[in-house]
Structure 1
């Protein structure tokens, strides 16, 4: 598998595989959100999922893949710090603002910042048509947030700071996407980076909970969330990072944000939530923007 992935980097096959991986990441990211919906507060969910990731990734990182070479440990150290900041900002955002309002803002600002950072670091460029696609996708995402903002009736007094935190979280999405893309390209075996990524970034919240005396015996729901959340996180983050190794970082970031469309479909089909014509129109705009970015290059 490793040799095949390396052989298709920068090829048309690699581009097509990266497309499928980015869309898979989008779907799994939406499923990840649905899994957490309404069960526990953001901090508890983070601790439980990180604990699941730690248990599953430890044997893979320590015994099944080659260890990272010494020259990339500075990348791994930076990765741990960046993802910790992202997780803290994400938890603060979701704690203060309605999920349907702040989530599209996070997912909208993230790819926009990523396109710029990928241009600076990797020299990637978008055509005029692709920038038009970016504009369509962002219009759909921010329009969806504005529509939900008009409808929300709870926690309105904390929505302004929540929206500010959502933009900051989106910036960190761009930082970690670019940093992780640099890291997975710097190591010969991409699965080495992935295994150590999940292993090293899963320590922080469980250790903090333990140090603060907040660790408690998990119930059946927590165990289920930890196991399922860990496997879905493996698929979501792993897929998008492999996509950034095989092809454009900016395009992978844009395509991943179709997760909002998948989230709405899951909410409609699985959670029996009402969607409505306006949300359908805005989500169609998001999907159209992703299609224009993909085929406008």
Structure 2
């Protein structure tokens, strides 16, 4: 804890934040695929949240210090914002193909986040960095457009899915900015992380109980819950810690390379074809992230 506090805003902190943001991108690609997998998105998220509750409760209640009373409003806002984000993501995945809507969500988020970081944290990108943002967004939306032209499933719900994806991207920017402010306001960042996972995991299990849509418990559910929870710890935990150590905007940009990782996962493990156009667009996303990083 003392070491983390000491490197905030330093070159060491900057390098660690970069590694954390890229780690978050890789893990988020896995997390998105899990939620869009075997079960409907509402059920998948409820299963993962149940595991998050079980794993985070003892840490939040008995290991880390409790949040100060004067900061509970921050956690209340966090719960509301993440609930809206999770609902929008479930609605988006329910209506659109993963390869189409995921790049739109990830492409919309960083632009709003960079603007929000400028207003709230006083962060300002250079002209070169804005050029990098443009390259990254061009690659993300280009990838989505290419996938949209090729997709053969859920075309009848494609327009509302894209609208929801943009709204979800805006919610990503809101929660990234809010969480960055919250983790900086709490003295111990692990207090914020533990209570974040604990408090934001109640909603979807309650929704599943109301909907009465729980599948029959089996080993696959247990694996999904456990793997999903561990990936969520890494993905959300890494990016929030990165925003405490260094620039919120740069962390948000680097996290959006998750689309590249998602495509690579599909190519290497799922044996999905990539093709030269997708490779070019993914290279554009990666180039944009590099330009943002070196342009600071």
Structure 2 length-normalised TM: 0.98
Residue 60 of structure 1: aligned partner: 59
Quote the residue 1:184 is aligned against: 183
Q: Hey, what does 2:125 align to over in structure 1?
A: 126
Deviation at 1:137, TM superposition (A): 0.2
Q: 5 Å matches for 1:184-263?
A: 184-263=183-262
* Distance of 2:79 and 2:216 partners within structure 1: 26
d(CA) in 2 for partners of 1:144, 1:128: 24
Report the CA distance between 1:211 and its aligned residue: 3.1
- Contact 2:53 2:201 (C-alpha < 8 Å) held by counterparts: yes
Q: 1:244 deviation in Å?
A: 0.2
Separation (CA, whole Å) in 1 of partners of 2:288 and 2:10:
24
1:215 and 1:184 map into 2 onto residues whose CA distance is 34
Alignment correspondent of 1:24? 23
The answer for the alignment partner of 1:148 in structure 2 is: 147
Residue matched to 1:33: 32
Matches within 5 A, 1:162-177: 162-177=161-176
**Aligned-pair CA distance for 1:212:** 3.5
State the match for 1:137 in structure 2. Answer: 136
Partner of 2:265: 266
Q: Is the 8 A contact 1:34 1:267 kept in 2?
A: no
Query: Contact 1:34–1:266 at 8 Å: present in 2 too?
Result: no
1:71 equivalent in structure 2: 70
Distance apart, 1:32 and its partner CA? 1.7
> 2:168 and 2:35 mapped to 1: Cα distance?
18
What SS does the corresponding residue of 2:108 show, helix, strand or coil? helix
| TM-score normalised by length of structure 1 | 0.98
Residues in 1 aligned to 2:90 and 2:35: alpha-carbon distance in whole angstroms? 12
TM-superposed CA distance for 1:40, in Å, is 1.0
Render the CA deviation track for 1:11-65: whole Å, top value 9, x for unaligned: 0000000000000000111122333453111011010000010000000000110
Distance 1:216 1:267, change over 3 A: closer
Gaps of 5+ in 1: none
Q: Who is 1:49 aligned against?
A: 48
- Deviations 1:77-125 (CA, angstroms, capped at 9, x unpaired): 0000000000001011111111111110000000010000111110100
Measured in 2, the distance between the counterparts of 1:226 and 1:57 equals: 13
Q: Alignment length, in residue pairs?
A: 296
Q: How has the CA–CA distance of structure 1 residues 164 and 203 changed in structure 2, closer, same or farther, with 3 Å as cutoff? A: same
After superposition, give the CA deviation of every residue in 1:260-291 in whole Å (9 maximum; x if it has no partner). Answer: 11111111111111111100000000000000
Change (3 A) 1:13 1:84: same
Mapped partners of 2:264, 2:175: distance in 1: 27
- Do the aligned partners of 1:57 and 1:199 also contact (CA within 8 Å) in 2? yes
Q: Deviations for 1:165-202, whole angstroms, at most 9, x for unmatched residues?
A: 00000000000000000000000000000000000000
Distance in 1, matches of 2:9 and 2:92, equals 37
* Runs (5+) with no aligned partner, structure 2: none
Match of 2:279 in 1: 280
- Tell me the alpha carbon deviations over residues 136-156 of structure 1, each in whole angstroms, 9 at most, x when there is no partner: 000000000000011011221
